[in-house]
Every structure is written in C-alpha cells, then in structure tokens.
C-alpha cells in the first residue's frame, strides 16, 4: 500500500488517490459501530462504500433505522485499502455463505482488515483472524476466544494489519487510530476536531468494572436470549470449520481459544 501520510491533505484537493473503504452492512447491525468510523473517515476524504448483498435498505438491530447500501458484494471494488466489519446481531452474517465468501475474497487483498465491537466474530468466522489478536465488545470476548482468536481487552487493538475496536463507542477511537496509521497524525487530529470529539462522559459506567455488578446483572438479564443465539452461531461456525479442515478441530485450538490478554 502506498504511503499517504506524506501528502495529506493534498488528497483532499484531488492530488492523490483517496483511500477506498468497504464497510459491511447487514440486517441487525449496530449503527454506531460504523457511523463513528464513517464520520472520521469521511472527514479526511476517504472514499467509503457501504456494502451489502443487495441495495435494499439494511435495518439496524432495533429494526427502526434503515441504511441504504451503496454497493453490492458483486460491484464493490475488488481492491480495498480498508475492510471494516461492524457488530450487532451478527449471528446470521456469521453463517451466511455469501457474506463469508465476500469477506474472504476482499480480505485476501485488503491492506487493512478491521472490525468494531463483535464484528470481530464475523471476521473470525471468515477465517480472517486466524493467528491474530483482536478486541471486541466486553460481552463477546468469550465467544471470540471460542473461535480460536487471541482476545485483547484494549479499546483499540492493533496486530499487524488487523485493527479492531471494542464495543460500539470504541469505533470513534478506532477510526482515528486507523487514520493516524494511514494518513498520519495530522489527519487524525483534523478528523477529531471536525467531530468535536472531546468526550467527558457523565458517568463512569462504560465498562463492567466501572458500572459494577448490579448494572452487569441487569445487562445479563436483558441479553440472555440474544447471547444464547450467538453461542449457537459460534458453535455452528466451529463445527463448519472443523468439518472443512480437520486440523482446526477445537481440541487443537483449546489453549489459544482460552486466552484473553490485555496487551
């Protein structure tokens, strides 16, 4: 990949090729997972493709907010600088053959393969996190570990060309980090200023440690059903991958799958 850090902001004036970004969209996505990075990437002139199986509107996880894709799997650019997968209700996407085939294809040539929240589970289902470390939403860390991924508790995790953000709001930090690595710190700071990203949360409840056991118990109560569905999807992915490649059997990956690191 060409080094764009030396000519920013020249590319905003048409003197350099903008970075091509492909963001996967699927029904049940968490919109803020990709809107945060999308806003940051847009601020520095990246060319963003919202990619889905069809051009039909894609619904958010609450089935209220509809997003219009700009490209299908077939007409998305073959060579992406950045491939991004957001999270949400990821079960169907993890098990959808067309989605997995698209990610495997574009992931083979993308300069950066990235995710926010439990979008990492979809990347893992596509085999794109094999041998890599990744962050995800705190409530999905055990699921990601089951898929043989070394799990990081960082808000933004970088492992070679794999960039991943933690849950939802971490997508903004993730986006700025990706910009810093592709266009330079100056561009990242510019995007941060454009978004007036100067967070001062009113409560210290953005992590299980800060929220405390009562809030965590409340979270568990309201997510018990979706978590069961997700566990079933993870099990199906593991079975499919073991069947397609016996050497990936879960027993061989047990040591790695159990590891959750903070690096």
The catalytic residues are: 117
Could you give the 3-state DSSP secondary structure of residue 24? strand
Query: Cα(131)–Cα(123) distance, rounded to whole angstroms?
Result: 12
Query: Cα(191)–Cα(186) distance, rounded to whole angstroms?
Result: 9
Query: Cα(72)–Cα(248) distance, rounded to whole angstroms?
Result: 31
Strands, E assignment, 14-117: 20-24, 47-52, 58-59, 66-67, 71-72, 82-85, 112-116
What are the distances in angstroms from CA 5 to CA 8, 11, 178? 6, 10, 12
Contacts of 43 by beta carbon, 8 Å cutoff, 6+ apart: 190, 191, 194, 195
Burial class (CB in 10 A: 0-12, 13-18, 19+), 242: middle
Whether 143 contacts 234, CB under 8 Å: yes
């Amino acid at each position: 990949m060409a080094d764009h850090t030396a000519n920013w902001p020249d590319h905003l004036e048409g003197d350099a090729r903008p970075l091509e970004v492909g963001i996967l969209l699927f029904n049940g996505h968490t919109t803020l997972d990709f809107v945060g990075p999308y806003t940051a990437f847009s601020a520095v002139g990246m060319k963003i493709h919202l990619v889905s199986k069809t051009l039909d509107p894609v619904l958010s996880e609450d089935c209220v907010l509809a997003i219009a894709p700009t490209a299908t799997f077939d007409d998305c650019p073959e060579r992406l600088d950045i491939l991004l997968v957001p999270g949400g209700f990821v079960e169907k996407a993890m098990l959808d053959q067309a989605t997995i085939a698209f990610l495997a294809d574009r992931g083979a040539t993308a300069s950066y393969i990235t995710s926010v929240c439990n979008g990492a589970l979809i990347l893992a289902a596509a085999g794109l996190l094999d041998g890599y470390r990744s962050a995800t939403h705190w409530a999905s860390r055990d699921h990601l570990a089951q898929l043989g991924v070394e799990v990081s508790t960082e808000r933004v995790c970088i492992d070679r060309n794999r960039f991943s953000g933690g849950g939802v709001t971490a997508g903004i930090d993730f986006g700025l980090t990706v910009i810093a690595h592709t266009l330079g710190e100056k561009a990242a700071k510019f995007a941060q200023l454009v978004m007036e990203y100067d967070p001062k949360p009113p409560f210290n409840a953005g992590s299980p440690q800060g929220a405390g056991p009562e809030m965590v118990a409340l979270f568990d109560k309201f997510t018990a059903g979706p978590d069961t569905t997700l566990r079933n999807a993870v099990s199906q992915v593991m079975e499919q991958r073991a069947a397609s490649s016996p050497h990936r059997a879960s027993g061989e990956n047990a040591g790695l799958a159990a590891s959750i690191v903070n690096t």
